[in-house]
Amino acid sequence: QLQLQESGPGLVKPSETLSLTCTVSGGSISSSNYYWDWIRQPPGKGLEWIATIFYSGTTYYNPSLKSRVIISVDTSKNQFSLKLTSVTAADTAVYYCAERRYSILPGGEGAYWYFGLWGRGTLVTVSS
Applying CB under 8 A, the residues found at the interface with other proteins are 46-49, 52, 60-64, 96, 103, 105, 108-109, 112-116, 118-121
Closer residue to other proteins in complex, CB, 77/120: 120
Q: How far is the CB of 76 from other proteins (least distance, A)?
A: 26
Residues contacting residue 40 through CB under 8 Å, at least 6 positions apart: 47, 48, 50, 91, 93, 94, 95, 96
Closer residue to other proteins in complex, CB, 57/76: 57
Q: How far is the CB of 111 from other proteins (least distance, A)?
A: 9
Closer residue to other proteins in complex, CB, 1/76: 1
Name which of 18, 48, 50, 20 is nearest 37 in CA terms: 50
Q: How far is the CB of 116 from other proteins (least distance, A)?
A: 6
Q: How far is the CB of 80 from other proteins (least distance, A)?
A: 17
At 121, phi and psi to the nearest 5? Answer: 90, 150
Closer residue to other proteins in complex, CB, 50/126: 50
What would the 3-class secondary structure string for 26-75 be? CCCCCCCCCEEEEEEECCCCCCEEEEEECCCCCEEECCCCHHHEEEEEEC
